[in-house]
Structure 1
């Protein structure tokens, strides 16, 4: 799939990425003479995802970019003309051609904010027909971005602050756009880096990666490097024949580990040597192509020690099968003793990375106290959000012409609060969250130290709260089509 990019390298979301009924309702508004009435919609969710207690809001900068570029092309209008009634007044299509977001305003929670049910992630106001047309693309831009950011934040909380989390789910994602979005917003949610190079190029996400089993198994051991010589890291002194040095180190390592020299796989060793010659300052090994204990580990040690003699330090190993926690513990112990035996103490601290369909349960195990795992690669279980496939965001009309609008329904939980609203976060004296308050926009804002009676969501009786701090939640990001506040840059998330 070829992605359409704007002049800054960002993916383009076109106005027709929408549901047909937005256009049919638009025609209905226009025929009723209501297309230009001022209206306000709110985008929010009803339940916290994953059975949790919070969400992170994401996708704001994509929404602002979409709104600023919103125009229907001639081809777009021609397609709509082909699917709407053939007797539709041509003036309606001229109205569509003239649409832009110069009369649209957006208030929103800042990118990466904690969000809770019912509190608007976006408030979108403008001409009724136009802001109706915006519903589906805005939901599409916000819902999955917020879902994957929340999923990533949950995984970060489980992992704790010290483990490095690598998102590596592009190949498992629901299409190119899904993979790209997941890489961006897993970073916003707390991951350290992504394997997705396009996310690095276009959105500044730090990229990282190791190597695959295919690289290792492609070598037989008979390959001769075209240039086997490697100069010392300091550039002082003669270059060394790295494969020959590795073979000498392998003898010493095997004796120390109690292995026969023929046990480590020669093809794996040749692959490690080739990788080391290409990346002497960033050498890392994938240890489980054949046998971790009898092949991957001794081959890695032989290459790492040969590099160490030249002043280079290996940057890591990865495990992709078996009991990752136990293997990491055993490998750390061997690194410690081998480093001491051969006077290379840095070897003890070589990072150990793991991967293998890691979910929340396995992540908690890998993050427990005493774990020797440093880096955790997660793919499927961050990008696909398997515990909940959708955020369940909705986009509801709350006012037209300054008059509140309400949806009454057979299900009480699907009723909406009418009218334009303001939102505030109440904190206690230690800065801990008490609650988020919704009120009508025209009501006086609450003040710190003021005792208030509030109705908690779903409660039958009010309660009293006295916040030590009050923070307004919704910021004006777009006013009459003009950006009024910088949205959060991704690296600040």
Structure 2
């Protein structure tokens, strides 16, 4: 699969630079950076890790997303004169002017970022990203990196759950731009819901920037803007073959509508002429893409009859209508009724194309209602999701954090009164262990200097959240989970397109055992420490209880 074009990469890099300048951060990053600089510590080598503490939505997994933009952000990280002038105006007047000269020369040439690949299935407490470099610089990166990863990973994971609920065959359309938290939230949602498993978006800008397939037809306002067939113009349409003169489609439509009412025992007086005019006008404009919303009035008494009348005209002229959209009421029941009418038309009028018409459902769809579709009889081929997808109504934030784990080669640990908020110290390697069936069953955190685990050899480890007892496991396969992605100012791995990352998501999810993919009450996935890392944690905790001045750890509540 081809990498993004140079033009597409340029657009995305410019987008990141404009949306995420170095000033898009918290004030305390600058106050800390100045204090480090003032103390002469700003160049000390430091390591931070980014991770989240709980799997989102009560599920068993998350997806890692946002890395692409993080790398572009690092590559373009520089303060302009205007940035520095503004910082000079908001920092205390006594701030040493030389600090601002220091900021003006900063970049990420001394920063190294290692992370799991974008689109990988990940789990709570596993360090997804390691950022190493000069202390003041890697501190300044914190908020921006969290901003880029938190929502992207959350909405991507939400999309994957919708995909699991919908099943593999039903098409999914993201249509949440109007409900998103601002323009950037809407654009990020369109991008990462596609990566998470949605097939299409209504967001035109997302199609332009990321190559996501875009779709859309009409709203109810288009339908209700028409009142009579006199508003249809032009009133003729040429056959698809182009080998005959345009025909009067209004007369054709009236004839088909009369036959439909007779076939279905419908009352012609209840058929809305304005709706028919809207459908006909739209079909004349887009004879190859006819898919109207049919619930502006009554689906059974008007919408489906008007659709079929126009669709029959299109079929007679050699075009293939696409289908209909349902946006209110009992979607399952209505879809069954509409499909019955399509089949009657196919059989009675000998038009096989009616057997392949699609039915799209779009009515405030949630993960729960998506799952319910699979339990009820329905004929819905595609589902459009907006509010509950892009706003992540079940959980508003993933809660990623960015924590210091090493300074000057010495491990640092936050020891909290809340054990869940304690961190795992030291620079690490992360390995994923697989069973004989190819399913991952444990992520192992080791000290970076340790030898990696080997397939077929038993190892002892300490699962997080357990009673501090050791477990013995034997992996059938071992994978190193993190890769170097950025160093010396350069991105070191190819940047993937949304399509390529989407494929990575599906491949990663395929390996996951069904018990970890369950939407309700999934089994917990095991994350464990190696013996050496567990020993380091124990030593630091013991030291914290005996001496608060120990320089080899950081005590923080």
TM range (shorter): over 0.9
Asked if 2 retains the 8 angstrom alpha-carbon contact of 1:405 and 1:419, the reply is yes
Asked if 2 retains the 8 angstrom alpha-carbon contact of 1:321 and 1:356, the reply is yes
Match in the other structure for 1:462: 470
- Stretch moving more, 82-91 or 95-104: 82-91
Q: 3-state SS of the aligned residue for 1:10?
A: helix
CA separation in 2, counterparts of 1:256 and 1:9?
59
Report deviation, 1:222. 4.3
1:486 to 490, 494, 507: 494
- Stretch moving more, 453-462 or 480-489: 480-489
Q: How high is the TM-score relative to the length of structure 2?
A: 0.86
5 Å matches for 1:345-424?
345-368=352-375, 370-424=377-431
Instruction: Confirm whether residue 33 of structure 1 aligns to residue 40 of structure 2.
Output: yes
Report deviation, 1:253. 0.8
Q: 3-state SS of the aligned residue for 2:253?
A: helix
Report deviation, 1:224. 3.7
CA separation in 1, counterparts of 2:420 and 2:229?
68
Stretches (4+) displaced over 4 A: 5-9
The C-alpha deviation readout for 1:318-350, integer Å capped at 9, x for no partner, is: 001110011111111111111110011220220
Report deviation, 1:402. 1.5
Asked if 2 retains the 8 angstrom alpha-carbon contact of 1:111 and 1:487, the reply is no
Q: Give the number of the structure whose residues are more often helix, by fraction.
A: 2
Match in the other structure for 2:15: 10
Instruction: Confirm whether residue 323 of structure 1 aligns to residue 330 of structure 2.
Output: yes
5 Å matches for 1:56-75?
56-75=63-82
CA separation in 2, counterparts of 1:422 and 1:221?
70
Asked if 2 retains the 8 angstrom alpha-carbon contact of 1:110 and 1:488, the reply is no
Instruction: Confirm whether residue 472 of structure 1 aligns to residue 480 of structure 2.
Output: yes
1:218 to 225, 233, 242: 225
Report deviation, 1:194. 0.8
Q: 3-state SS of the aligned residue for 1:150?
A: helix
Match in the other structure for 2:287: 280
5+ long unaligned stretches in structure 2: 1-9, 503-557
Match in the other structure for 2:509: none
5 Å matches for 1:87-98?
87-98=94-105
5 Å matches for 1:233-248?
233-248=240-255
Match in the other structure for 2:519: none
The C-alpha deviation readout for 1:160-190, integer Å capped at 9, x for no partner, is: 0011110101000111111110110000110
Report deviation, 1:409. 1.1
Report deviation, 1:238. 2.8
Corresponding pairs, count:
489
Asked if 2 retains the 8 angstrom alpha-carbon contact of 1:325 and 1:365, the reply is no
CA separation in 1, counterparts of 2:302 and 2:376?
29
CA separation in 2, counterparts of 1:347 and 1:118?
52
The C-alpha deviation readout for 1:120-172, integer Å capped at 9, x for no partner, is: 22111111101100000100000000000000001100100011110101000
The structure-2 alpha-carbon separation of the partners of 1:140 and 1:7, relative to structure 1 and needing over 3 Å to count, comes to: closer
Instruction: Confirm whether residue 344 of structure 1 aligns to residue 351 of structure 2.
Output: yes
Instruction: Confirm whether residue 263 of structure 1 aligns to residue 270 of structure 2.
Output: yes
- Stretch moving more, 478-487 or 44-53: 478-487
CA separation in 2, counterparts of 1:454 and 1:299?
67
Q: 3-state SS of the aligned residue for 1:94?
A: helix
Instruction: Confirm whether residue 79 of structure 1 aligns to residue 97 of structure 2.
Output: no
Q: How high is the TM-score relative to the length of structure 1?
A: 0.97
Q: 3-state SS of the aligned residue for 2:172?
A: strand
- Stretch moving more, 8-17 or 119-128: 8-17
Q: 3-state SS of the aligned residue for 2:87?
A: helix
Q: 3-state SS of the aligned residue for 1:307?
A: helix
Q: 3-state SS of the aligned residue for 2:270?
A: coil
Match in the other structure for 1:47: 54
Q: 3-state SS of the aligned residue for 1:126?
A: strand
CA separation in 2, counterparts of 1:240 and 1:10?
49
Instruction: Confirm whether residue 304 of structure 1 aligns to residue 311 of structure 2.
Output: yes
Asked if 1 retains the 8 angstrom alpha-carbon contact of 2:55 and 2:123, the reply is yes
Match in the other structure for 2:517: none
5 Å matches for 1:193-204?
193-204=200-211
Asked if 1 retains the 8 angstrom alpha-carbon contact of 2:332 and 2:376, the reply is no
CA separation in 2, counterparts of 1:43 and 1:214?
46
Report deviation, 1:371. 2.8
Report deviation, 1:79. 1.2
1:432 to 433, 439, 446: 439
Match in the other structure for 1:230: 237
